[in-house]
Amino acid sequence: MIALVISSGTNMAFPTIMGKVIDRTAGREDAGSRIPDKVFFAGAFGIFACGSIASWVRTYSIGVAAHRIMQRLRTKLFGRLLEQDVAFFDEHRTGELVSILTEDTEIAADTVTGKAANGMRSASSALNGSIMLLTLSPRLTLVSIALLPLVGVGAMGYSRRLKRLAARQREDAADASTFAEERLSQLRTVRAFGRERAEAQWYRELCDGSTELARRAASARGAFMGGLSASANASLVAVLYFGGSLVARGAMTVGDLASFAMYSSLVGLGFSGLSSFAADLSKGLASAERVFMLMDATPAVPLDEGLTPPLESVRGELVLEGVTFRYPSRDKDVLCGVDLRVPAGAILALTGPSGHGKSTLAALITRLYQPTAGRISLDGVDTATLSPSWLRGAVGVVEQDPVLFAGSVADNIKYGRPGASAADVEAAARAANAHQFILEFPDGYNTKVGQRGRQLSGGQRQRVAIARALLWDPPLLLLDEATSALDAESERLVRDAMEKLMDRENRTLLIIAHRQSTIQKAHTVAVLRDGRIVESGSYADLIARSGGELAALMSGGELAA
């Protein structure tokens, strides 16, 4: 701040000193008040040196402050984003979120530091310059500001137009980056269908939209800048013309006129700086608004508010009563009044045709979404009153299509429990039938799995995910059985791993199953169709029922043998 004042102060002194230099050489200054040349120039250079140092300090401290603010905004925002509901991510595009996280935080930080400092400097040049102009010559000042109102009107229209264009440009950029992110991360699908050129063309079209907007913004900026420099030139000509006549009449010295001309260009720069600051400010405010809108978004399902009974006391009885659910983005109920009871330590296989709500039910049990109606309870306690993060510690999940993170195999198995020992990791991997193939990798447990675990096969990924859930060691485990991407051998290994889990006594298991062998091993089988449990009982009873749902699914080939 001090540096800012000093550096703009020396900037302001510059024209006066220059005027004095001219008058000094022209011999116009009063001989009586004359300071010796040596002292005068030493003083002038001293002032300039102070100005340079202050300018360094200002640039440095603003640069550092801007970065700190940006980092703080980013880390805070990222933390907030991770706390948002799963439904939030159904509605927001990743590209948009990433651009707010990276670009808007930067713009907002730059606005309150560098841009604000520039604005203050401009304001001070405009203000102090105007005062200097008035003291040098009030009449000439009037001449020089004659065009100012016109410039002001232009600046306002310009900034409004720019704001509109910038908003649309952002939308387009978010579309394009979401598109690019998705296509690049799913390159195999693009390649499989030979869509490389077509996708490139599509991307070009997405970008072309913003090119047109950029062209319009640039044209507006050009028009404004052109107008600004024309009016600056016109006012300079007017100043020199009238000033010249004042000098000729002896009402002003040449040096004062030169100072005046320099001050008026400083004032001009000040005003143009202010107008671009106004544009920057509106852009910065828009960015800040987006950042704070996300920052203030409160998840409907908070992370860790609610009861946290001791985990050891959990028996694992799960009861669903009249559970109804509709995705916020859809207008039809996916689940309509589901009633289901899984006794502690039991194995329940949930089966049914694809797309009828099985995975959705699993998501509701861990409260990734909030049921629209009905109640889910664990050991008789409504899960809505439990702390969601505690609940997720008690209910482990192996998703249908699990995703691993870039890092080593061991890192992925330890994801929920980073402090786990190597022995525990290995035990979990053995239980999940993963130990063998991991040992065959060149680096064993330290082998990198690539982004999203892409360097592993589907069956390997599935088994690493099972190991990850086992190390988490929850009293209740939800397994969404993988149906795709598994060859016969890894399918057998995955199934074997799951069946080993089913043999363990002390854990409640809810398995979303598609295979007869899995279903057969469960104590109870429930069939979900059209969002309702249409049948439940033991496998033997259900399969024997003539006209039963399970029997129909089996004979219809919808479930694998």
Ligand X SMILES: Nc1ncnc2c1ncn2[C@@H]1O[C@H](COP(=O)(O)OP(=O)(O)O)[C@@H](O)[C@H]1O
User: What is the spatial order of strands in the sheet that 532-537 belongs to?
Assistant: 395-398, 476-480, 508-512, 347-351, 524-529, 532-537
Q: Per CB under 6 A, does 327 bind ligand X?
A: yes
Which residue reads 């200054």 in tokens?
Answer: 29
* Nearest residue (CB) to ligand X, 139 versus 330: 330
Give the separation between CA 550 and CA 93, rounded to whole angstroms: 39
Least distance (Å) between residue 477 CB and Mg ion: 16
Count Cβ atoms below 10 Å from residue 512 Cβ, excluding itself.
Answer: 23
359 binds Mg ion (CB under 5 A): yes
Please say whether the dihedral angle defined by the alpha carbons of residues 443, 449, 454 and 457, taken in this order, is positive or negative: positive
Asked if 7 touches Mg ion (CB under 5 A), the answer is no
Least distance to ligand X, CB of residue 91, Å: 9
Nearest Cα neighbor of 499 from 485, 516, 487 is: 516
Spatial separation of the C-alpha atoms in residues 7 and 48, rounded to whole Å: 9
| Binding of residue 556 to ligand X (CB under 6 A) | no
Q: Closest CB to ligand X among 356 and 515?
A: 356
Tokens 């994801």 belong to: 415
Identify the DSSP state of 92.
S
Task: Give the CA distances from residue 260 to residues 15, 152, 263, 265, 317, in Å, rounded to whole numbers and listed in that order.
Answer: 8, 22, 5, 9, 87
Per partner kind, with CB cut-offs from 5 to 8 A, the member of Mg ion, ligand X, none near residue 90 is ligand X
Name the residue with tokens 């008035």.
134
Please tell me whether residue 358 binds ligand X under the rule CB under 6 A.
Answer: yes
Q: Using CB under 6 A, which of 43, 64, 90, 218 touches ligand X?
A: 90
Output 59 or 400, the one with its CB closest to ligand X. 400
Count of residues near Mg ion by CB under 5 A: 2
Distance, C-alpha 111 to centroid of its chain: 19
For residue 411, count other CB atoms closer than 10 A to its CB. Answer: 17
531 binds, among ligand X, Mg ion, none (CB under 5 to 8 A by kind): none
**Toward Mg ion, which CB reaches closer, 172 or 480?**
480
Q: Enter the tokens of residue 151.
A: 């410039």
Residue 88 found at the interface with ligand X (CB under 6 A): no
Q: Which stretch binds ligand X (CB under 6 A): 39-47, 354-362, 419-427, 464-472?
A: 354-362
Name the residue nearer to ligand X (CB basis): 16 or 400.
400
Residue 356 binds to ligand X (criterion: CB under 6 A): yes
- Residue from 10, 253, 359, 462 touching ligand X (CB under 6 A): that is 359
Give min distance, CB of 366 to Mg ion, in A. Answer: 14
Alpha-carbon gap, residue 285 to 119, rounded angstroms = 14
Asked whether position 487 contacts ligand X by CB under 6 A, the answer is no
Cβ-based burial of 73 (10 A; exposed 0-12, middle 13-18, buried ≥19): buried
Indicate the residue type of 246: L
**Contact partner at residue 298 from Mg ion, ligand X, none, CB < 5 to 8 Å by partner kind:** none
Question: How far is Cα 301 from Cα 31, in angstroms, rounded to an integer?
Answer: 82
C-alpha–C-alpha distance, residues 466 and 236, integer Å:
77
Size of site (CB under 6 A) for ligand X: 12
**Per-residue x/- mask for Mg ion, residues 388 to 427, rule CB under 5 A?**
------------x---------------------------
> What single letter denotes the amino acid at residue 400?
Q
Nearer to ligand X, 178 or 359 (CB): 359
Strand ranges for 19-108 from DSSP E: none
Of 46-54, 144-152, 242-250, 350-358, the segment contacting ligand X by CB under 6 A is: 350-358
Identity of the residue, 181 or 333, whose beta carbon is nearer to ligand X in the bound complex: 333
- Nearest CB to ligand X, comparing residues 372 and 447: 372
Site residues for ligand X per CB under 6 A: 90, 327, 329-330, 334, 354-360
Site residues for Mg ion per CB under 5 A: 359, 400
